[in-house]
Structure 1
């Protein structure tokens, strides 16, 4: 695993990378303009990636969370998606559906 830069040098590196790529790369690919807030390692350090500029893409927090979850094998459970304005699940197969009378 590559050692991560720490301290003032890390803060300066992060600032420079965000200044170089101010918009989320993944949102921009979809035609959405979103400020980038996280310099993301394309190949994570934990998976052997290097902490070099060519291995960095700047993302918004939402895209960063999604990409990181995918890279480390985390996915949303099937049948657990969506909720209504009250926060209750809309999927009739959700475990709460029978208790809510929606099954």
Structure 2
């Protein structure tokens, strides 16, 4: 992780920013790019604070939960967790 330049905004100040961004982006920005429609429920930093981003409006966007999870995995190098069935075997076709 890079050095954080801006501290995370919290409390009432963040709630005002969040409301403004979700009002601006009521539909998930990434879903719209793929001709889908999903309600924005999370304000995402395009460039994460940990990577030098800020809370400026042009660095914030509204995303649905699925898109936010995917973006976060990509930005921070997380792998998607493997799903397992009740028998304890992976459900992705592995046998």
User: Which has the higher relative contact order, 1 or 2, with Cα contacts under 8 A spaced 6 or more apart?
Assistant: 2
SS across alignment from 1:22: coil
Q: For this pair of structures, how many residues does the alignment match?
A: 88
Q: Which has the larger radius of gyration?
A: 1
**Aligned-partner Cα distance in 2 for 1:90–1:49:** 36
Unaligned runs of at least 5 residues, structure 1:
98-103
1:56 aligns with 2:56: no
Unaligned runs of at least 5 residues, structure 2:
none
Which stretches of structure 1, 4 residues or longer, exceed 6 Å deviation after superposition? none
CA RMSD of aligned residues (A): 2.2
**Aligned-partner Cα distance in 2 for 1:90–1:26:** 26
TM-score w.r.t. length of structure 1: 0.76
